[in-house]
Structure 1
Amino acid sequence: MAQRILIICGDYVEDYELMVPFQALQAMGYTVDAVCPGKQAGEQIKTAIHDFEGAQTYSEKPGHNFTLNASFDQIDAANYQALLVPGGRAPEYLRLDAQVLRLVRHFADTGKPIAAICHGAQLLAAADVIRGRKVSAYPACAPEVRLAGAEYIEIAVTAAVTDGRLVTAPAWPAHPAWLAQFAAVLGAP
């Protein structure tokens, strides 16, 4: 039976950081469920495309509508072997949801692999699961990572960091490194 990976997402998640891992992990043979609090399988969330165009921060454009394939209120974290948290603006408000935080803590407390990219670190920081860990994230999240007791690792936007069973990266240009390191933590050959 294929390992099951849970993705927690929401409106205005970064388009590439949801779509690419969702499809790539399925192509590697994993079963991947994408959920959003308050939404059911078959419902859609809006995504946003964040790009690096020479401004002091990223730009944001409308992305695709993404169809969720599982219902948040029906999942059982015990049935998943790993968690993936994409970035974008979704983690900013998802971190206010106590049920989401409990879900994230389940994966950390049971030692299951967790992958987070970009602003996904906001959710990990709010769940208090990165204390003492090495974490990369979008640079604007560095203060939150440090305040959560983690060591913020400043790396190239194309690189990723693995600390035990936690794999993090600064933004979607790191997908090749981030997904390869996550697959290694999952035990892929």
Structure 2
Amino acid sequence: PFQMLQMVGHQCSTVCPGKRAGESVATAIHDFEGAQTYSEKRGHNFVLNADFDQISFDQFDALVIPGGRAPEYLRLDPQVLALVQHFAHANKPMAAICHGPQILAAAGVLGGRACSCYPAVGPEVVLSGGSVPTPSPGLDSAHTDGNLVTAPAWPAHPAWMRQFLQLLGSRIEA
């Protein structure tokens, strides 16, 4: 999402609690290799370009919450939850994928909303008052509910980002 948003002209800041600009976070590569769930392999280092502790929530127009396993611990950070609550209450565009909705659930912003997510996250979405649309068999569909665009896994990147760009008012001409 970072490079795709930059490609169409959006300025993007990447942050992580406890880290500063110039530091990196490890990414993970998930794949569906025939087991009951995804496999996980070490991905590349993703360099941060801003300090989480220095950002002002008001300076941003939209929020992208990544998937993978990071949301398991990010949802425990009160400042992360405050950031999500700010975007939800201000009705700013938000996008979340895979396990990202765990953060939305922990922030208490899913009540009455439909939210696509990795199937194992579905119970958390429902317990937080949301509903989970039935994903496509290939996990390649996305769902928009107001200012929120969600998707179940990486195969949905094209649909997820297409819907998010529409929400942002971005135009892509072929």
TM tier, shorter chain? over 0.9
Normalised by the length of structure 2, the TM-score is: 0.96
Partner of 2:115: 135
CA contact (8 A) 1:40 1:70 kept: yes
Question: What is the CA–CA distance in structure 2 between the aligned matches of 1:76 and 1:106, rounded to whole Å?
Answer: 11
Question: What is the CA–CA distance in structure 2 between the aligned matches of 1:64 and 1:127, rounded to whole Å?
Answer: 28
Kindly provide the amino acid, as one letter, of the partner of residue 164 in structure 1.
G
Partner of 2:66: 86
Report the 3-state secondary structure (helix = DSSP H, G, I; strand = E; otherwise coil) of the residue aligned with 1:155: coil
Q: Among 49, 60, 67, which residue is 2:29 paired with?
A: 49
Partner of 1:161: 143
Question: What is the CA–CA distance in structure 1 between the aligned matches of 2:65 and 2:55, rounded to whole Å?
Answer: 16
Kindly provide the amino acid, as one letter, of the partner of residue 167 in structure 2.
V
Q: Tell me whether 1:183 sits opposite 2:162 in the alignment.
A: no
Kindly provide the amino acid, as one letter, of the partner of residue 178 in structure 1.
W
Partner of 1:174: 156
RMSD: 0.6
Report the 3-state secondary structure (helix = DSSP H, G, I; strand = E; otherwise coil) of the residue aligned with 1:134: coil
Kindly provide the amino acid, as one letter, of the partner of residue 149 in structure 2.
V
- Paired residues in the alignment total 169
Question: What is the CA–CA distance in structure 2 between the aligned matches of 1:47 and 1:155, rounded to whole Å?
Answer: 24
Report the 3-state secondary structure (helix = DSSP H, G, I; strand = E; otherwise coil) of the residue aligned with 2:12: strand
Partner of 2:47: 67
Q: Which runs of 5+ in 1 are unaligned?
A: 1-20
CA contact (8 A) 1:139 1:154 kept: no
**Percent identity over paired residues:** 64
Detail structure 1 runs of 4+ shifted over 2 Å in the superposition.
Answer: none
Kindly provide the amino acid, as one letter, of the partner of residue 120 in structure 2.
A
Q: How does 1:29-44 map to 2 (within 5 A)?
A: 29-44=9-24
Structure 1 residue 188 displacement after superposition: 1.4
Q: How does 1:80-119 map to 2 (within 5 A)?
A: 80-119=60-99
Report the 3-state secondary structure (helix = DSSP H, G, I; strand = E; otherwise coil) of the residue aligned with 1:135: coil
Normalised by the length of structure 1, the TM-score is: 0.88
Report the 3-state secondary structure (helix = DSSP H, G, I; strand = E; otherwise coil) of the residue aligned with 1:151: coil
Question: What is the CA–CA distance in structure 1 between the aligned matches of 2:15 and 2:4, rounded to whole Å?
Answer: 17
Q: Which has the higher strand share?
A: 1
Q: Which runs of 5+ in 2 are unaligned?
A: none
Question: What is the CA–CA distance in structure 2 between the aligned matches of 1:160 and 1:154, rounded to whole Å?
Answer: 10
Partner of 1:16: none
Question: What is the CA–CA distance in structure 2 between the aligned matches of 1:62 and 1:40, rounded to whole Å?
Answer: 22
Report the 3-state secondary structure (helix = DSSP H, G, I; strand = E; otherwise coil) of the residue aligned with 1:180: helix
